[in-house]
Structure 1
């Protein structure tokens, strides 16, 4: 356990740094209504890193950082200068063009580079677990300088952000815009190399959105965003370690889940008193409609194509332990259960071998090459045998579903249709009351 804590401590501290700086920048991005500016600048940074690798600079080197920051600084200039045309075409259109062009050029560069696909994957999802103490110190230095500059000029930056759509032609506005985008680009360049484009975007936008959900005051929103971001990061690291998942992608999902929970809490408990009851009713009805539509679609799909994938039916069978036995003969049931038990045994062996390798890696005791090759060979063998047993199960399950397609499909389709009709009847008067209430409040 202590080894695991030691391994994750530095990456978690880096995530807290990301949350601290990116949430502040994200609040300004939301005030400027240029949400995807981060993606555009991050993609320019990734393009710079890709060009650096293509010309011979190793990943993470000072030369690679220089290329990435130079292109990001160029993007900051483009976003600043194009404010004059934003009134006609919108700033998001310019940002979208910058992102698309940067992505296309990166693909062209990668096409001529060795191990280009691996480099693109790293730029997208990063590898935050590889953050070291020197990386953490560099982040502290860069973020400290950026934070100091924003602290000195925060009134000008916030005023410019709030009035960016009103003051398109003033030189002072362009100066503060460039300062914001340049420091923003510096932060993005330093973080994309460690965390990847997707996770950096999550650090920037999601905590800021959570903060603005509950308050428009910048200080309150900043505190809420910091708290939500740290909690989401902790949940992401925990889920990644528990289920052995890619850390970057897992953290993006936990950030999204945190935003969903925050939105539900806002609607149910922090809305206007007159709206809370109606919001809870709406959420309950929307959840019921979602479930009933899924059940209706499953019933129709079972009747139309019983041998195809039946995700909802398979989930219910797995959780309730039903299986396809009801529509199989005694001999077919025996074969199905034998294949199921054998496949479970093979899957357990594959998991056991994988766990041995993971435990050795966490302890810092790497397996020898012959041990890795032997474990890999056993895993491949067990996977192939398990695939054969799953084929038998799938064949018998499809046979059972063809036999019971009408017996199961018609009732669940009819019951879900009845449920949707009853929900519609119950929803109409409440919807009308809610609409009248909204008009009165307006």
Structure 2
């Protein structure tokens, strides 16, 4: 079984950050999101220290939609990365944590007027525009406030990345961005470049998520730089090229992510070579890792309630969580590795489907988990849940969201409290008409 970050096995028990999962369950209860702080910091440094080039300015931006709390924003600030937000809520969280507004990039395909006003008022460094309507909304705000705003336009290069259709984002019918093959996109770029309220910096693309093929990114570079060259011929200088994120991570033994130390350097060298050949320098290149920083740092811990073998022979193990805290399996048919955290070295005797307590037949957390025969009270850990688990958690069935803790160097701390029943009804009203 593949272990991640600071995970280790001591006396048949899983430890993370030098802390026993048995002790964590005893202290904080289950279900429980555990985040390996040292692993997250290590991954930020991997990207920051390898995404550098002697002839190209670079910037690494953490995509906060993968996992966002005040503690995470503080960590990203300390590790000297910039921050990508996609909503007013993510922006509010970042600012509440003291993250510098000038290092925030505001994404999204349909930012509301309220969100754009909030971003401008807060001094957000860069707004990534998705379409002409959004540009018009922002222009009105800027003209009223007599303020200039850095902007980048999201475009779609039509690259087909091999990933799940719901997270492939640059197909020609994608809801995100504007096609580089449309003359209307050039017209909008000309408008943005000429308008005095905009400090138009460049273009952005994001070809999808959970991508393992380096070639997809190299192809995106070629298409995007070709487009930069076409814009240059029309008198428009592109100073920043944001290549997005989507870098794949390991969820199972068979997964083979890119070796990022090699890939990042090769990607920048590819950019530099083409840019020099086409006389496009100086050019700043940006990327937006999210999942690649936090996914393997996360482990979700559950308590086993029992097992069941159906008449058809299917074996289930029940845990005290559900699809409400682990939605990606049913949403994307995602696969995960699970283990009994308090019986790590026991023989894996059976294949079980891990299911939760939600009133849904589709409430599946792990479709095939190779486990010792589970017993009531055992702890079951699901690996690589740091990205899009806490972020996508819900209160379906009025279930309470689990707490989030950070572990590091033998210590643990709460960064998000466990919800209470009172939290569930906090916004309910019973007023009469």
TM norm structure 2: 0.18
Q: Point out the structure with max Rg over C-alpha.
A: 1
Structure with bigger RCO (C-alpha 8 Å, 6+ apart): 2
Q: Which has the higher strand share?
A: 2
